[in-house]
Structure 1
Amino acid sequence: MSLAPPLVTPRTVWITGAGSGIGAAMARAFAAAGDRVALTGRSRDSLDEVAASLPDPSRTLVMPGDVTDREGMAKTAAEVAAWSKGQGGNGIDVLCNNAGLNIPKRSWAELDWESWDQVIAVNVTGALNVIAACLPVMRAEGGGVMIHTSSWAGRFHSERGGVAYGASKHALSDISASLNDQEGRNGIRSTALCPAEVATPLLAKRPGFDTSTLAAMIQPEDMAATALYVAGMNPGVAVHEIVLAPVRR
């Protein structure tokens, strides 16, 4: 096994769910570090707004798309890699596999197959689609980093997170572990970020959510800083998982 060379800036970073919250914060953090960023999400308007906030438009690519569209994600990954090479890059150095979904009906007493199936489709199948799209690119490059936005609910049972969401994030954390097990020989490393509550628009969907608690939560910028740390790690080290929680007061 040969280790991939250390990643140096400017890296090419593909971020899904980049239109708001954690994904938008990751885009700003990597762009501020001098990296190229490719932004994917379902709303072009939201992506354009994030792109407009970044320091260098020439190093920003907006690629709207839905992670549940398998062929679309494969096409997007290829286009991101081609854009990177056109700017002197390798392809895709870092994937921030961040797109995610939760829904209001979260308990067994509120079992709602339509919305629960949607959670699995986005959080599990969508994540798999993006990973599968990146693997050929990173293998050809000789390595890369995949950073997945899992959850505290992907590490521990969480009643607040809900049945479908918790199951989906447990699956994502194991998917990340499988990449380290099977793709390390190709220089590919994978990290599951497992935060407790993060102050994002996703929380608005939680029944009974109190907006006054936002300031005490993990902030999107904290997640972005963690992703930067992981992306800059020595290529001989795989950071399998990082669990984050706000300080108890």
Structure 2
Amino acid sequence: MGRLNGQRAWITGGGTGTGAGAARALAASGAEIILSGRRTDALQQMVESIEAEGGVARAEPLDVSDATAVAEVAARIGTVNILVANAGLNVPDRGLDVLQVEGWQKVVNVNLNGTFHPVHAVLPGMRAAGSGLIILISSWAGRYVGTLTGAAYNATKRAVLALNETINLEEGGNGIRATAILPGEVATDILKSRPKPPSQADISRMLQIEDLAETVRFVAEMPPHVCLNEIVISPTWNRFYRGFNEIDAS
């Protein structure tokens, strides 16, 4: 019997990376998994993988930047006990001297609007149930601004922290709790969108998908009266402290 038996978890950005890892970890703890993302093939592969391991999962393909589509998917899902708002992206041209309006809007639409839309969609049901857990994946850049991550990413991930705090401020009395997870560098495909991707040696010392997955599971398995407001997690070899070779070489 898993600690999350009877719980339904909706994970955005669930087809790959941190979202996929979190889905597998929550399924292993007994939760029913709903996976959303834009890549139907990746979602279906994850569903099949979870089912092969004895879990329960289904896919709900979705562009989280589309508020109407998010509301429709939420209505089909029904009760959501755990929301993991994980969808996120960045653009290669990040500095203010090269960032274009289209790039800014793309990042804001997914990282911020795409976080708010599922939160907004699940809150009524959680209020009615008198309980619920919302996990928002922010970033080290949400707390510590840097040139590597760029203006749009920094701004949206900082805004996610404000949204997280607002949920706890306004909804804690309704039994709803929110946790913002702020990871340092994680070895996921988002690294490919950097102007100069890191070396394999550096990637091997980063946080791995399994590390974030276990962090999400740790939060989800806490009893309902416990709210972990924020978790900042980084690699021991933290390049935000030690420096970035790809910046030095530019």
TM-score when scaled to structure 2? 0.90
- Deviation string for 1:182-209 (max 9, x for gaps)? 0001110001100011000011101111
- Equivalent pair of 2:10/2:84 in contact (CA under 8 Å): yes
Candidates 38, 43, 46, aligned match of 1:47: 43
Contact 1:31–1:55 (8 Å) recurs in 2: no
The reply to whether residue 59 of structure 1 matches residue 56 of structure 2 is yes
Question: Structure 2, unaligned stretches of length 5 or more?
Answer: 239-250
Q: Quick check: 1:230 aligned with 2:219?
A: yes
State the alpha-carbon separation in 2 of the partners of residues 173 and 112 from structure 1.
24
Residue correspondence of structure 1 range 126-137 to structure 2 within 5 A: 126-137=114-125
Give the aligned partner of residue 187 of structure 2. Answer: 199
SS of aligned partner of 2:9: strand
Kindly provide the CA deviation profile for residues 19-57 of structure 1, in whole angstroms up to 9, marking residues without a partner as x.
110001011111111210000000111101111111367
Counterpart of 1:71, as a letter, is T
- Structure 1 position 184 matched with structure 2 position 184: no
What amino acid does structure 1 have at the position aligned with 2:196?
G
CA distance in 2, matches of 1:96, 1:190: 10
CA distance in 1, matches of 2:164, 2:115: 10
SS in 2 for 1:39: strand
Contact 1:32–1:55 (8 Å) recurs in 2: no
Aligned residue among 171, 196, 208 for 1:208: 196
Q: Which residue of 2 aligns with 1:219?
A: 208
Q: Compute the displacement of 1:77 (Å).
A: 1.2
SS at match of 1:118: helix
3-state SS, counterpart of residue 167 of structure 1: helix
Alignment partners' CA distance in 2, 1:113 and 1:94 = 34
Q: What amino acid is aligned across from residue 234 of structure 1 in structure 2? A: P
- Alpha-carbon deviations, 1:151-190, whole Å to 9, x = none? 0000111211111000000000110010000000111000
Contact 2:143 2:158 in 1 (8 A): yes
Count of paired positions: 234
Give yes or no for contact 2:206–2:237 (8 Å, CA) kept in 1: no
Q: Distance in 2 between matches of 1:134 and 1:179?
A: 12
**Cα contact 2:65–2:109 (8 A) shared by 1:** yes
For residue 28 of structure 2, what is the aligned residue in structure 1?
32
2:228 is aligned with what amino acid?
V
* 1:211 positional shift: 3.6
Q: Report the 3-state secondary structure (helix = DSSP H, G, I; strand = E; otherwise coil) of the residue aligned with 1:96.
A: strand
Question: Higher RCO, 1 or 2 (CA under 8 Å, sep at least 6)?
Answer: 1
Q: Are 1:97 and 2:67 an aligned pair?
A: no
SS at match of 2:74: helix
**Unpaired segments of 5 or more residues in structure 1?**
1-6, 82-90
Aligned-pair CA distance for 1:107:
0.3
SS, match of residue 109 in structure 1: coil
**Alignment partners' CA distance in 2, 1:232 and 1:33:** 8
**TM-aligned CA deviation for residue 210 of structure 1:** 2.2
Give the counterpart letter for 1:76 in structure 2. V
Q: Among residues 56, 69, 73, which one is paired with 1:72 in the alignment?
A: 69
Q: State whether residues 4 and 30 of structure 2, in contact with CA within 8 Å, keep that contact through their aligned partners in structure 1.
A: no
Q: Is the 8 A contact 2:50 2:56 kept in 1?
A: no
What amino acid is the match of 1:240? N
Work out the CA distance in 2 between the residues paired with 1:221 and 1:184: 29
